[in-house]
Amino acid sequence: MSAAAFVLAINLFVAGLFATAFGVLAAYYRSALGARWIAFGYGCGVVTSVLEFVLPFQADARPVAFALFSIFLFALAFIVIGLARHYRLSPPLRVLTGLVAVSMLINLFSMEMPRDSFLRAMLYQLPYALILLVALGMMVKLPARRILDVALMGILVTVIIHFIAKPFLAQMIGSGGAPQGYLSSTYAAISQSVGAILHISTGIAVLLIMVRDVMAEITARSETDALSGLHNRRGFEDHSERAMALSQRSGVPAMMIVADLDHFKQINDTHGHATGDMVIAAFAKTLREAAPQTAVLGRTGGEEFAIFLPGTNLACGRLYAEAVRTAFPVNVAPELKGLNLSASFGAAMQDTDDTLSELMRRADQALYRAKSEGRNRVVVAKIPPSALAAESGTIKDFGTS
C-alpha cells in the first residue's frame, strides 16, 4: 500500500467517525440544528474516500472522477449549511446551488484538458475554496465570536489556501500521468497528509463549538423558570454571585430588590391557577421591560421575585422598584384588568463585604416591612455604613416611599 493510500484509509476512518459523532449529536439534542447537515457532509466524505480507492481500477476513470468531484462539492455545501443552521443564520442556498451546478458543468468540460494543465487543476480545486469562502463570509458577519469560532475561521482560511495551493504543487512535482496513478504519486501523499490534518482540525473545531453551545443551552434551561422566562432560584443565585463579586472588585454600588405579589393566594383560589400564571407572566414582563441590560432577574419562589442591579445606587434602585410597582397593574392582559393587582418591594444596598445571602436577608427584611405596613409599596433597608459613605451622604430617608 502506498503512503497516500494509507493516509486515505485514515481519512476514510476519520470521516466515518465524524459522521457518526455529528449524527449522534443531532439525534440526542434537537437544538443542535446544524449537526445533521454536517453529519451528511462527513458521510459524503466517506463516499469520496471509497471512490478514491476505486479510481485506480477503472478502465475509464472519468465517471468515477466526476462523481468524486461532485460528491465532495456536496459534502462541503452540507457543512456550510450545517454551520449556518447552527449559528441561526439563513443558509445561502442559492449561492451554494449556483456554485455546485456551475462547478460540475465546468468539471465536465475540463476533463478533456491535459491532466498536467495548470488551468484544469485550478478549475478542479477552486470550487472547493469558493464554497468554504462562503462559510467564512457567514462567520465574519456573526455579531459575537468566541475563541473557538475565531479558531474555526482560522482553520477555514488555511483550508481555502490549501485548495488554491494544490494546483501549484501539482505543477511542481506532478500529480501522476493518469487518474488511475494518482494514489501512487508523491503529490497524492502530500495532498492526503495535509488534507487529513485539516480534515481532523475542522471536524474537532466544529464539534467543540456545537458541544459548547449545546451545553450552554442545557445550562440555560436548567437555570430558567419556564413560566416567567426569568432565572429560577439556582440561576439567579449563580448569576447574582458573579455580578456581586464584579461590583465589589470594581467598587461600584449595587442594589438587591425582592418583590412579592400581594394577595396572590387569593387570586389563585378565586380565579384559578391559569389566571395566577398569567399574573406571574405579566409581572415578569414588567420587571424585564423596566430593567437595565446588566440586571439579573429571577423568580425565586411561587410569587416571589428578586432583582440584582449592579452599578445602581439607592436612588436609582428605588426608582426602578417604584416604576415596576406603578406599571404592573397597567401592564397586564385585558382579561386581568378587573383584578386588584399590586406588589410589595424590599430593597437593600450592597455592602463592600456582603455575601449574597446577607444582602438578600436585608432586602427580605425590608419586604417584610412593606407587607406589614399595608403592601403595595417600596421599603428600603437601612444602608450599611460603608455603602452610606459611597452614597456621599446624599440619601437621608430610609423609610417607605
| CB of 65 closer than 8 Å to CB of 111 | yes
| Pairing relationship of beta strands 296-299 and 254-261 according to DSSP bridges | unpaired
| CB of 344 closer than 8 Å to CB of 377 | yes
| Pairing relationship of beta strands 378-380 and 343-349 according to DSSP bridges | parallel
The sign of the dihedral angle between the CA atoms of 112, 115, 116, 120 is positive
Quote the cell numbers at residue 62.
472519468
Amino acid present at 203: G
Among residues 52, 303, 322, 358, the one annotated as catalytic is 303
| CB of 350 closer than 8 Å to CB of 254 | yes
| CB of 324 closer than 8 Å to CB of 333 | no
Detail the DSSP E strand segments found in 128-269: 254-261
Total residues found in the chain within this entry: 401
How far is the CA of 401 from the CAs of 236, 287, 323, in angstroms? Answer: 26, 19, 12
Neighbouring CB atoms inside 10 A of 257's CB total 28
d(C-alpha 174, C-alpha 188), whole Å:
9
Amino acid present at 334: P
d(C-alpha 356, C-alpha 297), whole Å:
14
126-154 core/surface letters (b: 16 or more CB in 10 A; e: else): bbbbbbbbbbbebbeeeeeeeebbebbbe
Quote the cell numbers at residue 307.
432583582
Half-sphere exposure in the Cβ direction for 114 (13 Å, CA): 6
Is 303 one of the catalytic residues?
yes
- DSSP assignment letter at 381: P
Amino acid present at 120: R
The residues, ordered by sequence, that sit 6+ positions from 385 with a Cβ below 8 Å of its Cβ are: none
How far is the CA of 386 from the CAs of 310, 312, 340, 382, 390, in angstroms? Answer: 17, 15, 40, 12, 6
Quote the cell numbers at residue 138.
457567514
Residues carrying an active site annotation: 303
